[in-house]
Structure 1
Amino acid sequence: MPPQLLPASAAAFAPRASSVNVVLGSKIEPWLTQTLKRINRVKRPLNSVPQHQRCLTETLSSTNAIWTLASLMLPKYPDSELRTDSNTIVEAIPSYEFIFLEAYIVHVDMVLRNEVAFKLTPDTIEALIEHHKDVFLIDAKAASYDWPEKEQHAKKLHDGFVQAINKYVFRTHVSALEGLEEEGVGELLCGRSEEVKNSIMGLLNKPLLPPPPKIVDVIRQPPLLPSSPIGAIWSQTIHSPGVPTPVDSWRVLPSSPAVTSTSVDSNTPIWSSMTMHEIELPSPIPSYSQPYSSAGMFYSSPMVTSPIPALPLPSMLAAHCGINMGYGGFGWDRYQEYATTM
């Protein structure tokens, strides 16, 4: 893209230059020649590029060379002070006014960008600044809720508009010079006025917004490193999934039914004196753990059990066995009595 060349007179708060910067190409367009012949009362020779450039420069540099870019109908007073009437025409006449956006040409380029640049006149800039301060800003503050720094934000919004409207330069195609009239005055044609109107209204109607909520930084707990004391404490209580949790030796059930504990009566079943919370089943061993071994569960002293009682020998039982020995009080000596009754 070619560089955007603008003279110093197009800068913000810069005064109007005594001469307009005009750059023409090596070939003059026929429409420019016809326009210059139409606006000049005195016949001037237009047979070369320097003659066209001299004529156009003198015409646009005149103090009367003011262009009307567009017109805006804006309210004179804030909404709270506007007159209300059933007749819209009667209501609009005293309450609204027209502000004509007038400008002068600061740059004509028919070589690089084929454009013409307009800058608003000081009177137009002053009228827009007063409207923004006395009307728009009051309506904006009334339409928004109150917060501690509302006045400061309103002042900042107005200062931003002052800067923006002084920097505003309307740039359009060089064919806009077809609207040139005598003494350098002119009017934008082909719908270019709508572009100016939309641009100015966009600068005027910037809303007054409250500041965004402050973001509170969440302080997160730093991760525990293996070298920290807290991490060491937790590391001591964590058991490997391959090693079963150690249990007390007295809570382990005997592996043989013949072996009984010393604290359980021989006539009472072993399961009746044991509550549910005393029965602890080992947790299931993962498939990737080592083969199960009951030796790893006994790390304390060996379990104390009562000695196995001595069983009587067959020879000892033979001395007591006889015909008088029976079941339930019925001996073999009365077998004949039972047999005859049956």
Structure 2
Amino acid sequence: MPLQLLPASAAAFAPRASSVNVVMSSKVEPWLTQTLKRINRVKRPLNSVSQHQRCLTETLSSSSAIWTLTSLMIQKAPDADLRKDSNPLIEALFNYQLLHIEAYIVHVDMVLRNEVAFKLTPDSIESLIEYHKDIHCVDISANTYPWSEKDMQVRKIHEEFIQAINKFVYRTHVSALEGLEEDGAGELLCGKSEEVKNNLMGMFHPLLPPLPRIIDVVRPQPLLPSSPVGANWWSQPSVSSSVAAPVDSWRVVPSSPSTTSSVDPNSVWANMGLNEMQLPSPTPSYSRPYTTAGWAWSSPQVSAPIPSLPLPSMLAQQPCGIGMGYGGFGWDRYQEYATTM
């Protein structure tokens, strides 16, 4: 890529030079000759490269050689101060205005890059800076939430715009000189003004507020569907220490009618004496023992497994009398005593 050279007059804050830097090639294009003949009121000889260079330099160096690069439709006031009307035409007339962006040529290169360079006039730069400060900065500040460094950030954006607009140089192909008019003035053709507009509007940066801080919110652990409301979810259920004392399996007769057993009832009652058998009167119903533990939920009491024995109702076919025992009559002589009773 060839080195891009610009004169000192193209630098930021540099005043306009008294003469434009024009570099001609060894061959002059026919369109350039026709353009110079069209704009010159006094006919001048254009028979050589040096004559074309001299004529073009004098024309572009004139103080009246001001080009209109583009026109911007800008607001007259911030959004909060705009006039509201049901007629959009009245709103446009009172709230908007056209700002013509003017520039002058600082460099013409027909050898290395075939381009022409434009620099904005001081009046256009001042108008853009004023619009950026009084309208653009006010709007972007009003449209964002406040934070500690907001005003500083707005001032920084404005200072960066001042530097950028003073450094702005628009470069385009040298064929743009076909729009040259009398006294060196001109206008960009072939849609180049839209390109200038996009470049200028790209300098109006938005105000980006800082990202909000992420705060860790401690949320309670959700209760399971089976957990009671208000229970301490993290507490471990305490196992009651009141475990029933172990008892002999032959002394306990379960009261549940649905309990089945595989033990032969004849063998149980045949080996048991009268004085050893203890039949409880009504079997007490099961009740949960009273505990002084807290009102918190606790798991059911754990008790020792109770072996299942035959119920008296299961032995209804073999009622026992008062004389049952090993020394008297037993189960084998039940039929004899039953007939005499």
TM-score range, shorter chain: 0.5 to 0.7
- The DSSP-based 3-state class of the residue aligned with 2:160 is helix
Instruction: Indicate the residue corresponding to 1:121 in structure 2.
Output: 121
Instruction: Indicate the residue corresponding to 2:7 in structure 1.
Output: 7
Instruction: Indicate the residue corresponding to 1:181 in structure 2.
Output: 181
Deviations 1:97-155 (A, max 9, x none): 11001000000000000000000000000000000000010000011111101000000
| 1:95 and 2:98 aligned | no
* Matches of 1:51 and 1:213, distance apart in 2: 66
Instruction: Indicate the residue corresponding to 1:80 in structure 2.
Output: 80
Amino acid at match of 1:208: L
* Matches of 1:179 and 1:213, distance apart in 2: 52
* Matches of 2:199 and 2:145, distance apart in 1: 28
| 1:52 and 2:52 aligned | yes
Mapping of residues 290-309 of structure 1, within 5 Å: none
* Matches of 2:211 and 2:165, distance apart in 1: 26
Instruction: Indicate the residue corresponding to 2:206 in structure 1.
Output: 207
Instruction: Indicate the residue corresponding to 1:161 in structure 2.
Output: 161
Gaps of 5+ in 2: 215-341
* Matches of 2:119 and 2:169, distance apart in 1: 5
> What TM-score, normalized to structure 1?
0.62
Deviations 1:151-202 (A, max 9, x none): 0000000000000000000000000000000000000000000000001111
- The DSSP-based 3-state class of the residue aligned with 2:46 is coil
* Matches of 1:2 and 1:26, distance apart in 2: 19
**Cα RMSD (Å):** 1.2
Amino acid at match of 2:166: N
Amino acid at match of 1:12: A
Give the Å deviation of 1:214. 8.8
* Matches of 1:212 and 1:166, distance apart in 2: 32
Instruction: Indicate the residue corresponding to 2:29 in structure 1.
Output: 29
Gaps of 5+ in 1: 216-342
* Matches of 2:138 and 2:18, distance apart in 1: 39
| 1:70 and 2:70 aligned | yes
- The DSSP-based 3-state class of the residue aligned with 1:6 is coil
* Matches of 2:32 and 2:160, distance apart in 1: 39
In structure 2, do the counterparts of structure 1 residues 23 and 209 end up closer, same or farther at CA, with 3 Å as the change threshold?
same
- The DSSP-based 3-state class of the residue aligned with 1:84 is coil
What is the aligned-residue identity percentage?
72
* Matches of 2:31 and 2:211, distance apart in 1: 54
Instruction: Indicate the residue corresponding to 1:197 in structure 2.
Output: 197
> What TM-score, normalized to structure 2?
0.62
Amino acid at match of 1:27: K
Mapping of residues 232-271 of structure 1, within 5 Å: none
- The DSSP-based 3-state class of the residue aligned with 1:203 is coil
Deviations 1:46-83 (A, max 9, x none): 00011000000000000000000000010010000000
Whose helix fraction is larger, Structure 1's or Structure 2's? 1
* Matches of 1:213 and 1:172, distance apart in 2: 43
Mapping of residues 284-295 of structure 1, within 5 Å: none
